[in-house]
């Protein structure tokens, strides 16, 4: 559905993206992660044709954004963090204006989408009177109106309350189920990405340093929570057996090491164990490993 190949971009001589590639299959939800300045927004800018890459190309459904932007974006919807509408106009007028750039405004379709995002009562009010959550719902409506096959979400849940975040997540997942829509989800809310995405890529300093499936890393090397003292003896023992110390008492063990033997070894070394439990490997663990340099670039 979307293929980014070798994206490279410099701003003022400073590299923002270095040979970044990724591919989204139809119906997939793909997360793009990274700290501020990692290159997520630049990637999205290139995908939408707002930023011209120094090298590389993006194709949406086989059409190059760089060579035929208007055709490539015909079935694309996008939502940005803090969407900037024309505040002095109503939500309805905003939709009309934005849809005029997408081939025309269909009143019936607009009413349906507005109802679906729960904005029927307020769509006639000026946008300046909307809360952040309502703006995001209107943003969702404008993104859904061209009946997109690809949705680009740039930090869409930033600033939303927990209820709003859940509503948004459920909405997107339902859309995928109903229409088989493909989603590129750009965020730094790791828990959200983990709950929504099938695959993720992590960017660091403009380079893709990881790509993998969410289920895949959840089933990878398990993580253990260990609370023991004295800490220095425990750490020395763990390092000797090849364990990675992830911080906050979280450790990994080499595959060949039996956890029971680790406990036995620690006790024999004079360590008092207060807690030892297997925990689920989260996206946050993977993310921290990668950004701390523990993970191997993919």
Partner 1 sequence: MIFLQQLQGELRKLFARPRTWMGYGAFVAMEALILFVYKLEASQQRMRGVVERNGLEFNTYYSSLTITFTIMLLSMFLLGSIYFALVAGDIVAKENEDGNLRMVFARPISRFRLLLVKYSAVCLYTFSFVFFVGVSGYAMAVAAVGWEGGLFVLEPKMKVFAAYPEWWEGAWRLALSAAGIGISMITLSSIAFMFSCFKIKPAAATIITLTILFVDMILQGFPFFKPYESYFVTWRMSAWVFLMEQHLSWPKIIESYAFLIGLNVSLFTVGWMAFQTRDFKT
Select from 88-96, 165-173, 231-239, 256-264 the region that touches partner 1 (CB under 8 A).
88-96
Residue from 104, 178, 256, 260 touching partner 1 (CB under 8 A): that is 104
Compute the distance between CA of residue 31 and CA of residue 167 in angstroms, rounded to an integer.
Answer: 18
Residue with smaller CB distance to partner 1, 88 or 255: 88
Q: Is 128 in the site for partner 1 (CB under 8 A)?
A: no
Handedness of CA 227, 233, 235, 241 (dihedral sign): negative
Residue from 56, 86, 173, 195 touching partner 1 (CB under 8 A): that is 86
Q: How many CA atoms does the CB half-sphere of 279 hold within 13 Å? A: 17
Compute the distance between CA of residue 278 and CA of residue 253 in angstroms, rounded to an integer.
Answer: 11
> C-beta of 41: minimal distance to partner 1 in Å?
5
Residues between 5 and 34 with contacts to partner 1, criterion CB under 8 A: 11
Compute the distance between CA of residue 71 and CA of residue 65 in angstroms, rounded to an integer.
Answer: 8
Task: Match 């763990």 to its residue by tokens.
Answer: 238
> C-beta of 230: minimal distance to partner 1 in Å?
50
Q: Which two tokens stand for residue 112?
A: 């349906």
Contact string 146-185 vs partner 1 (x = CB under 8 A): x-----x-x-------------------------------
Nearest residue to 198 via CA among 214, 222, 183: 214
Contacts (Cβ under 8 Å, ≥6 apart) of 94: 85, 86, 127, 138, 142
Residue with smaller CB distance to partner 1, 40 or 281: 40
Handedness of CA 268, 270, 272, 275 (dihedral sign): negative
Contact string 66-85 vs partner 1 (x = CB under 8 A): ---xxxxxx-xxx-x-xxxx
Residue with smaller CB distance to partner 1, 72 or 246: 72
8-state DSSP, 297: P
Select from 48-56, 220-228, 253-261, 276-284 the region that touches partner 1 (CB under 8 A).
48-56
Residues that bind partner 1 (CB under 8 A): 11, 41-42, 44-45, 48-52, 69-74, 76-78, 80, 82-86, 88-89, 93, 96-98, 100-105, 142-143, 146, 152, 154
């Amino acid at each position: 559905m979307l293929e980014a190949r070798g994206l490279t971009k410099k701003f003022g001589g400073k590299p923002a993206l270095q040979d970044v590639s990724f591919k989204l299959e139809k119906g997939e939800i793909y997360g793009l992660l990274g700290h501020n300045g990692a290159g997520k927004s630049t990637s999205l800018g290139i995908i939408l044709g707002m930023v011209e890459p120094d090298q590389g190309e993006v194709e949406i459904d086989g059409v190059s954004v760089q060579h035929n932007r208007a055709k490539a974006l015909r079935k694309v919807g996008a939502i940005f963090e803090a969407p900037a509408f024309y505040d002095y106009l109503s939500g309805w007028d905003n939709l009309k204006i934005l849809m005029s750039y997408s081939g025309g405004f269909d009143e019936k379709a607009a009413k349906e989408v507005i109802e679906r995002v729960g904005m029927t009562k307020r769509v006639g009010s000026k946008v300046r009177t909307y809360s952040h959550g309502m703006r995001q719902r209107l943003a969702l409506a404008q993104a859904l109106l061209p009946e997109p096959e690809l949705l680009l979400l740039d930090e869409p849940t930033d600033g939303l309350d927990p209820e709003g975040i859940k509503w948004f997540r459920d909405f997107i997942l339902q859309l995928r189920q109903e229409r088989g829509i493909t989603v590129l989800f750009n965020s730094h809310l790791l828990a959200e990405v983990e709950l929504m995405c099938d695959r993720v890529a992590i960017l660091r300093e403009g380079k893709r340093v990881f790509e993998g499936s969410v289920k895949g890393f959840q089933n990878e090397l398990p993580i253990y929570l260990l609370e023991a003292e004295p800490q220095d003896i425990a750490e020395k023992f763990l390092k000797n057996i090849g364990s990675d110390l992830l911080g906050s008492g979280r450790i990994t063990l080499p595959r060949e090491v039996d956890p029971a033997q680790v406990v036995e070894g620690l006790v024999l070394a004079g360590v008092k164990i207060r807690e030892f439990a297997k925990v689920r490997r989260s996206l946050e663990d993977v993310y921290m490993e990668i950004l701390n340099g523990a993970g191997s670039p993919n």
